[in-house]
Each structure stands twice: as C-alpha cells, then as structure tokens.
Homo-oligomer: A and B are copies of this chain.
Amino acid sequence: MTDTRWLDEEEQRTWRAFVAFSRLLSEAMERQLGRDEGLPFSYYLILAMLSEAPGRSLTMTELATVVRASPSRLSHAVNKLQANGWVERSRHPEDRRAIIASLTDEGMAVVEKAAPGHVGEVRRLVFDRLTPEQLVSFDDVLTTLLTGLDPDVPVCPDTPVCPTDAEPAVPTVGLCPSDAGLDDGPGAPDCDAA
C-alpha cells in the first residue's frame, strides 16, 4: 500500500484544472438559473427531463434515473415542484406500486421560459470558447472517460438543453419553445412561493 503512484506534474495540473472548472461551471449554471428564474439547477433538470419525455410523464424511478437522483431526493424535490403546481402525481395504470410524475402546463411554461437563458450560458461559457478541433477532442475524451465510469450511459441521457427547431433528427426530445401551445403562463418564477 506504500507504493502509491502519485500524479506527475502535468497530471496534477490537469486534475486540479478539471476540479476547478467543473466546480466553477456548475456554480455558474446554478447562479444563472437562480438569478434569472429563481430555480435551482436540480429542479430545472427535473422539469426539463419531464418536458422531453413522451406525454411529459415518467415514473418516479425513470425520472430518478435520468436526473441521476436518489429516489429519496427525487421524492422530496417533486413534493416541492408539486406544491408549486408544476408537476402532478398519478397512479400507474398497470403497476400500482409506480407513480407517474407529469409536467403541468404551468411547469412547461417555466421550462420554456428558462431554457433560452440556460442554453445561452452553456454556449457562452463553453462552446463559444472552443475551436472545432478542441470540441472534437473534448467530446472524445469525455466519451472515453464516461464509458469507463459507467458503461450503462449511452453518452446521452442527461442534461437540460434543447435541440434546434430545424433538427427533428434528434430522437428523444420535445422541449423547444416551438412545439407547444403556450399561452403565456402566470409568470411566477419564484420557486418557493406557496
């Protein structure tokens, strides 16, 4: 146990850069959503994932999987979202253990309002700063590391971004502010308003 292979200088620099970047970026996303929409990122993620699901609905277990939350954490979070009128619960018709969480129209309006600012921040802090070559390298490295970490992840099932309107080629999604008959919501972005 005493033969630890410590990190060399470059590895250490890279590692510290990753930790710093990862942290600063997630804080930046949190700040942006908090400031502009009064939403924590984890709540936005839940709403966004529901908005992309068929029928805007998923079982609690499915939802927990896509947002990578523990069942307990999801349950607590959905309690709050439900209290805000953004999510509803209903029984699963075939498996009465399961509960289906569905995005309400109000919840959909919240996502649609929040998405552009969120995407803008991602673009500003990440993609606008990378050359096409860097983007390719970055994707390559992430794919390598991700498959090592969790072979179940098909390099896709995760975050809250929105595809182009002109690209129906993308499989999962149904989020974009284009494909929903939104009648300007009640505009209550405060997450804790009872």
Contacts and interface: CB of A to CB of B under 8 A. Distances in A.
Contacts of A134: 137, 140-141, 144
Contacts of A20: 68, 146, 150, 153, 155, 157-159
Contacts of A145: 21, 25, 125-126, 129-130
Contact of A9 (B14, B25, B169): B169
Count class of interface residues, chain A: 35 or more
Given A125-B149, A129-B145, A145-B21, A12 B68 contact: no
Interface stretch (A82-90, A91-99, A116-124): A116-124
A191 interface: no
Contacts of A10: 135, 139
Interface in A155-188: 155-159, 161-165, 167, 169-170, 176-177
A19 interface: yes
Contact of A162 (B1, B7, B144, B155): B7
A169 to B, nearest CB: 7
A4 B129 contact: no
A194 B164 CA distance: 55
Given A18-B142, A24-B68, A24-B146, 5 more contacts: A2-B177, A8-B163, A19-B158, A20-B155, A21-B149
10 contacts: A5-B123, A6-B119, A6-B161, A15-B127, A17-B155, A19-B159, A21-B145, A24-B150, A129-B148, A130-B141
